[in-house]
C-alpha cells in the first residue's frame, strides 16, 4: 500500500507540480528558508525561527517532517481526511465548511482507529451541571460563561445545547453590541467531554444533530460582537469555538491543543472552519496532525489570539471562582 504521506524537499525540487496521488495523502514540504507558497502542500517546515505564514519554524525541518509522517502512518484515515477537509474548505463558505467537517467527523466515528481508541480509553463517569452555561445581561452587553469548572468546562451535549441557547439571544437581538465568552474555573475549556465519547451509536444521526445544534454556526453569525477570554487549557472545542470570535484575549497561562487525530478523529466543533481563517490551512493542519501544545506567545504571533492579557471581569473574583471549581 502506498504511504499516506510524502515529504517534498523544496530546496531540491522547488517547482514540484501537484501529483494526482497527493489527493489521498498528506504532503509535507521542507526548506532551509521560507520561499513563495507552493500549491498542493499541506504543511510547510523551515529551519528559520519565527517564519512568515504559512511556514512552521523548527530546529530540524527534515526530522520534524519525519516525526509528523510517523503520526500520519499511525492514523492514516483521520490524517488524510483532515487535509482533504482543509483543502476543500478553501473554496467554501463557513456554514458549508462546518457541514463538510461534520460529515468527515461522523465518517471517522465509525472507523477502526476511533473504535480502537475508545476501547482502550478509561471509563469516565459523567458529571453534569444543572446550569452548564451562565447568561448575564447588562444593558448592551451579554456575558456567556461556561460553568462546569470541576471538569475544566469539558464540552458535553448539555453544554453545547445551553451555549446554543445563549448565542441565539445574541443573534436575535441586535441591541446587544458586545458578547463576552468566558470559562469559569481553572480552564476556559478542556475540549469534548470524554465521558460522552462513543455514546452515540448512529454517526449519521450524530451528523444531523451536530449541524442542527451548532454553537460554531451561531458564533460565526455574531462574531464581530464577540470577545473570547481564554485562560488555562483551551483544548479541542475550547479553541475551535473561540477562534470564531472577532477578538480573542488570552491570559499568559493559556495553552492550546488539538488532540483529535490521536483519537482517530478530526476537529469536530468547527476548528477546520475557524482556525484556518486565523492562521491558514497549513498551520491548522500542523496543529491538528501533531497535537502539539501551542503557547500563548506563538498563538499571538500566528494570529490565533489577538491580545495577551487578563481574562476579564468574570474571573476577577477569585474566591467565587474557587468555590465554583470545587462544587460537587
Distance CA 110, CA 143 (A): 37
Average pLDDT over residues 194-218: 91
- Give the residue from 169, 118, 107 showing the smallest Cα distance to 143: 169
| Cβ–Cβ under 8 Å, residues 46 and 33 | yes
DSSP H helices in the chain: 61-74, 76-89, 94-109, 112-120, 157-172, 203-212, 215-221, 237-242, 271-279, 281-290, 296-302, 318-325
pLDDT of residue 320: 36
At 321, the pLDDT band (50, 70, 90 cuts) reads very low
Average pLDDT over residues 80-89: 97
Phi-psi region at 252: left, alpha or beta (left = phi > 0; alpha = psi -120 to 50): alpha
pLDDT of residue 66: 97
pLDDT of residue 311: 64
Distance CA 168, CA 147 (A): 18
To the nearest whole percent, how much of the chain has pLDDT over 70?
Answer: 94
pLDDT of residue 313: 45
pLDDT of residue 13: 82
Distance CA 179, CA 170 (A): 7
Mean of the per-residue pLDDT values for the chain?
A: 92
pLDDT of residue 2: 86
Distance CA 281, CA 296 (A): 19
Q: Tens of pLDDT along 264-285?
A: 999 999 999 999 999 999 999 9
Helix axes 94-109, 76-89, angle to 10 degrees: 170
Lowest pLDDT segment from 9-23, 133-147, 201-215, 308-322: 308-322
Domains, the chain, ranges and CATH? 5-74 (no CATH), 94-325 (3.90.226.10)
Strands 226-230 and 178-183: parallel
Place of cell 501544545: 293
> Looking at the predicted structure, is the pLDDT value of residue 312 above 70?
no
Amino acid at each position: 500500500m502506498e504511504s499516506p504521506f510524502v515529504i517534498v524537499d523544496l530546496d531540491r525540487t522547488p517547482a514540484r507540480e501537484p501529483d494526482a496521488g497527493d489527493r489521498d495523502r498528506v504532503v509535507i514540504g521542507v526548506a532551509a528558508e521560507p520561499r513563495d507558497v507552493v500549491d498542493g502542500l499541506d504543511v510547510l517546515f523551515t529551519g528559520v525561527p519565527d517564519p512568515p505564514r504559512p511556514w512552521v519554524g523548527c530546529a530540524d525541518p527534515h526530522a520534524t517532517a519525519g516525526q509528523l509522517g510517523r503520526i500520519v502512518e499511525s492514523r492514516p484515515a483521520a490524517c488524510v481526511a483532515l487535509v482533504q477537509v482543509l483543502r476543500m474548505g478553501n473554496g467554501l463558505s463557513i456554514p458549508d465548511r462546518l457541514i463538510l467537517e461534520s460529515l468527515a467527523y461522523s465518517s471517522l466515528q465509525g472507523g477502526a482507529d476511533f473504535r480502537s481508541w475508545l476501547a482502550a480509553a478509561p471509563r469516565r463517569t459523567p458529571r453534569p451541571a444543572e446550569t452548564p452555561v451562565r447568561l448575564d445581561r447588562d444593558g448592551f452587553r451579554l456575558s456567556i460563561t461556561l460553568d462546569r469548572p470541576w471538569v475544566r468546562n469539558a464540552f458535553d451535549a448539555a453544554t453545547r445545547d445551553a451555549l446554543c441557547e445563549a448565542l441565539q439571544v445574541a443573534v436575535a437581538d441586535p441591541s446587544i453590541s458586545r458578547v463576552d465568552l468566558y470559562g469559569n474555573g481553572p480552564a476556559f475549556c478542556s475540549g469534548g467531554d470524554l465521558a460522552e465519547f462513543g455514546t452515540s451509536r448512529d454517526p449519521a444521526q450524530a451528523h444531523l444533530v451536530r449541524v442542527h445544534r451548532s454553537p460554531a454556526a451561531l458564533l460565526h453569525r455574531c462574531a464581530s460582537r464577540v470577545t473570547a477570554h481564554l485562560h488555562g487549557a483551551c483544548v479541542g472545542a475550547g479553541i475551535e469555538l473561540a477562534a470564531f470570535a472577532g477578538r480573542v484575549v488570552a491570559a499568559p497561562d493559556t495553552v492550546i491543543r488539538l488532540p483529535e487525530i490521536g483519537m482517530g478523529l478530526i476537529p469536530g466543533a468547527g476548528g477546520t472552519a475557524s482556525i484556518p481563517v486565523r492562521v491558514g490551512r497549513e498551520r491548522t493542519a500542523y496543529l491538528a496532525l501533531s497535537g502539539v501544545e501551542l503557547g500563548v506567545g506563538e498563538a499571538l504571533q500566528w494570529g490565533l489570539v489577538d491580545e495577551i492579557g487578563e481574562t476579564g471581569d468574570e474571573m476577577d473574583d477569585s474566591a467565587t471562582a474557587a468555590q465554583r471549581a470545587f462544587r460537587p
